[in-house]
Chains A and B, each alone.
Chain A
Amino acid sequence: MTDRLQEVLDRVTRVRGVRGVLLVGVDDGLVVADAVMEGVRANAVAALAASLVQRMARATGTSGIGQPGFLHLEAERGALLMLAVRERLVLVAVAEPGVNVGLVRLELLRGGAEVR
């Protein structure tokens, strides 16, 4: 993992309420790089996020609105925020409930621009 990539991930984790950030391969659901707190199951997050992105890509493609750029799964006790950063990679943030989604999105977008 390059220092630059680690720096990108660390910067996102500095947003209050973010418990971890991962760079994930969409096709295989494997972790490329991660910065997660203890208790966050990086492998499970990666696999599930990739699967979700793949499925929603079929829905958006067929709906005629193109490929997904940003996805937000909001749940009772937290959220998954996903940003497509390259052809087959996605940045995934695991967040607590009440996190400032706009800020996380912004940091993911900044980070995504650097990963590209």
Chain B
Amino acid sequence: MADDIRSLTAELARDPDSLAFLRLGEALRAADQLDAAVRVVQTGLERHGGHADAHDLHARILIDAGNGAAAGDAWARALALAPRHVGALKGLAFLAFQEGDLDTALDRLETALSENPTDPSVVQALHAVREEAARLEAEIRLRAGADIFAGFEGADHGLLLVSERGLVLGGALRDPSDEDVAEEVAGYVAGAAREATRAARLLELGDWRSLVVEAADGHLHVSLPTSDTVLLVKRERAIPAGRVGLLARRAATAARVWVEAQR
């Protein structure tokens, strides 16, 4: 490494107009001599300001030195010279990702991938950003759903809003051992709601309003806040059924407001 640096330094001294500054700058960067690397590349750029790779190298040295803003400027200059420069696209994607701008990061990486579909670092980065985007989306969905019943008694363990297909939309349901049973029960409750609708229709009872179940250790109250959602309220046996019904009505109103806001 030291030999490389020495010979490249000599080469550059012999011919200051050569592109040897790129290899020297890269070697200094690899050797973690970042100040020297910056000086070499900046000097080279005075002569080769239209060289996109030089700006990309400059940016990578700057990012190693912890100067993200300047690195972003350097990559932007590289991209202005070569709009599909893979290094600059990857770099700007990295900065966007760091700032939480996943859409821009994805755009940059997808452009880079279309330019060089076999670059493993682009494939890997794209995979990581997509995973993060999916995780974030799930978290946002979960947070939005959890907010439906914010402030309601038992919102963290006994209030659940489910789609007609049995998907959890919001709220939470836990069994007495504090295990999350929302997903499983959501399917059963959606099925029971469909069965209640069928029963009410076939027996000419009109629309059904509620299905209340008293079990050995608790109550379940099922209702339809909207035509395509099912609300489940679970409470301990000691809570009077009337109070559960009241809570269910208030929760149904909150659920309706939430559903309307999503449309």
The interface of chain A, by Cβ under 8 A from chain B, is 41, 44-45, 48-49, 51-52, 55-56, 58-60, 62-80, 94
CB within 8 A of A67: which of B211, B215, B232? B215
Asked if A73 and B208 make an inter-chain contact with CB atoms under 8 angstroms apart, the answer reads yes
With A45-B203, A48-B198, A62-B188 already in contact, the answer to whether A73 and B211 are too (CB < 8 A) is yes
Given contact pairs A52-B192, A73-B211, A76-B209, A63 touches B203 in the complex (Cβ within 8 A): no
Chain B residues near A45 (CB-CB < 8 A):
203
- A11 and B20 alpha carbons, distance in the complex (Å): 103
**Number of B positions contacting A (CB below 8 A):** 39
Our pick among A49, A65, A69 for the contact of B234 (Cβ within 8 Å) is A65
Q: Flag if A74 contacts B202 (CB, 8 Å).
A: no
Interface of B: prevailing SS: mixed
Minimum CB–CB distance for A107 against chain B, Å: 16
A-B contacts besides A56-B188, A74-B210, 14 pairs, CB < 8 Å: A48-B195, A56-B220, A59-B189, A60-B215, A60-B218, A62-B188, A65-B217, A67-B216, A68-B214, A69-B216, A73-B199, A74-B212, A76-B207, A80-B205
Checking A55, A62, A63, A71 against B212 with a beta-carbon cut-off of 8 angstroms, the contacting residue is: A71
Residues of chain B lying within 8 A (CB to CB) of residue A62: 175, 181, 184-185, 188
Is B100 at the interface (CB under 8 A from chain A)? no
Check B206 for interface membership: any CB of A closer than 8 A: yes
Chain B residues with CB under 8 A of A73:
196, 199-200, 205, 208, 210-211
Report how far A63 CA is from B179 CA in the complex, Å. Answer: 9
- Selected from A52, A60, A94, the residue in CB contact (under 8 A) with B196 is A52
